[in-house]
Amino acid sequence: MKKVIALLVLVMLGYYGSAQYYYYNDDYYDSELVFEIGPHAGTMYALTDVGGKKTNRVFPIAQLHFKDTRLASGFYVAAMYRQTYGLRVEATWGNVQGNDRNGINKNRGLSYRSSINEIALIGEIHPLQLFLKADGAPAPISPYIAVGLGYYKFNPQAKYNNRYVDLQPLSTEGQGFAEYRTTRERYNRTQSNLIFGAGLKYELSHRFTLRGEFLLRKLFTDYLDDVGSGGFIDPALFAANLSPENAAIAQALYNPNGAPTGSIRGTKSKDAYVTFSLKAAVQLGRQPR
């Protein structure tokens, strides 16, 4: 029995030594694995065919039009390994909007708004920590890069008779109509996205952290704003494929300024949206000395 107890003590000491690998400060050990839990809040902006100041999508920040910037918020749970590699689950709720009067295509006359509900899995790496000694304290200020995969729900709407109506059921470019069966499918309002970004993390203490972060979501749809690369269709097709009520709404919203039938509504570029956020978190895992 004494041998078994001694073996268990050795195993526990070995785990303790590996889990608490250096002094964080005079009062706490730093564990190899530290968790963060906290809220985030900031702004959200969409990069679509409607609105925006520039057409060059290589530099998304340059397209921001502050009139169309909306609020976003959420929370996240992260696991940090040696303050160098992180993996987090993050939920974000926000809104986006766009209006041609604020963009480069003022004569088209389109506008939209959409809610965004997103859940994401994001990995991050803190390059500065790679150059620190294994038994040294982490840098209090740490820039990082982030890459992830998200799953989000959106619902483009436009204003009609002083109320907002959902645009997807109206098939504003003939999506799902028999006349476009092989070329224009109705888009799904729940999709995945790719996430790229960067941030700066600051440790207030062994328990609290602050982050500032920019994230770009690259989408696999061109219909975040309900404007794809299809042309302005013959309005008679609405009456042939929709209910009388929806046909009237679609005809009023799809081409408000009377562009010629067949002319292109938007570009073939996929849409995107970005967030600028501040994160405040509690850190769990550091143990008293």
CATH number at residue 246: 2.40.160.20
Evaluate if residue 21 carries a pLDDT over 70. no
pLDDT of residue 80: 94
* Cα(201)–Cα(216) distance, integer angstroms: 18
In a domain, 14, yes or no: no
pLDDT of residue 74: 98
Between the two ends of the chain, the Cα-to-Cα distance in Å is 31
Query: Higher-confidence residue: 213 or 103?
Result: 213
CB neighbour list of residue 154: distance below 8 Å, 6 or more residues apart: 114, 115, 116, 189, 191, 224
Stretch among 19-23, 95-99, 279-283, 284-288 having the lowest mean pLDDT: 19-23
Work out the pLDDT band at 169, boundaries 50, 70, 90. very high
In a domain, 89, yes or no: yes
In a domain, 7, yes or no: no
The rounded percent of the chain whose pLDDT value lies above 70 is: 84
Where is mean pLDDT largest: 3-17, 113-127, 167-181? 113-127
Q: Which of 209, 197, 213 is nearest to 72 (CA)?
A: 213
pLDDT of residue 136: 59
Helices (H), the chain: 2-19, 236-241, 244-253
CB neighbour list of residue 144: distance below 8 Å, 6 or more residues apart: 86, 124, 125, 126, 127, 198, 199, 200, 201
pLDDT of residue 102: 81
CA atoms within 13 Å, Cβ hemisphere of 129: 25
Mean of pLDDT values over 72-84: 94
Q: Which of 165, 151, 87, 77 is nearest to 117 (CA)?
A: 151
In a domain, 119, yes or no: yes
pLDDT of residue 254: 94
Work out the pLDDT band at 24, boundaries 50, 70, 90. low
In a domain, 255, yes or no: yes
Other CB atoms within 10 Å distance of the CB of residue 5: 9
Mean of pLDDT values over 185-199: 96
185 φψ region: left (φ > 0), alpha (ψ -120 to 50), beta (else): beta
User: How far from chain centre, in Å, is Cα 140?
Assistant: 27
pLDDT of residue 173: 93
In a domain, 156, yes or no: yes
Stretch among 96-110, 142-156, 166-180, 201-215 having the lowest mean pLDDT: 96-110
pLDDT of residue 181: 84
The rounded percent of the chain whose pLDDT value lies above 90 is: 60
Contact 70, 46 (CB under 8 A): no
pLDDT of residue 10: 38
pLDDT of residue 5: 39
Q: Which of 120, 121, 30 is nearest to 83 (CA)?
A: 30
Other CB atoms within 10 Å distance of the CB of residue 21: 13
pLDDT of residue 14: 41
Q: Write the pLDDT tens digit of every residue in 100-156.
A: 888 778 888 999 999 999 999 999 999 988 877 555 566 789 999 999 999 999 999
Mean of pLDDT values over 209-238: 94
The token duo for 101 is 């009067």
In a domain, 22, yes or no: no
Evaluate if residue 162 carries a pLDDT over 60. yes
Other CB atoms within 10 Å distance of the CB of residue 194: 14
pLDDT of residue 205: 86
pLDDT of residue 201: 95
Q: DSSP readout, 8-76?
A: HHHHHHHHHHHHEEEESSSSEEEESEEEEEEEEEEEEEEESSSS-S-S-TTSGGGG--GGG-EEEEEEE
Q: Domain tally for the chain? A: 1
180: three-class secondary structure by DSSP: helix
Mean of pLDDT values over 242-261: 93
Work out the pLDDT band at 206, boundaries 50, 70, 90. confident
In a domain, 259, yes or no: yes
User: How far from chain centre, in Å, is Cα 55?
Assistant: 21
| Boundaries of domain holding 199 | 31-288
* Cα(191)–Cα(155) distance, integer angstroms: 11
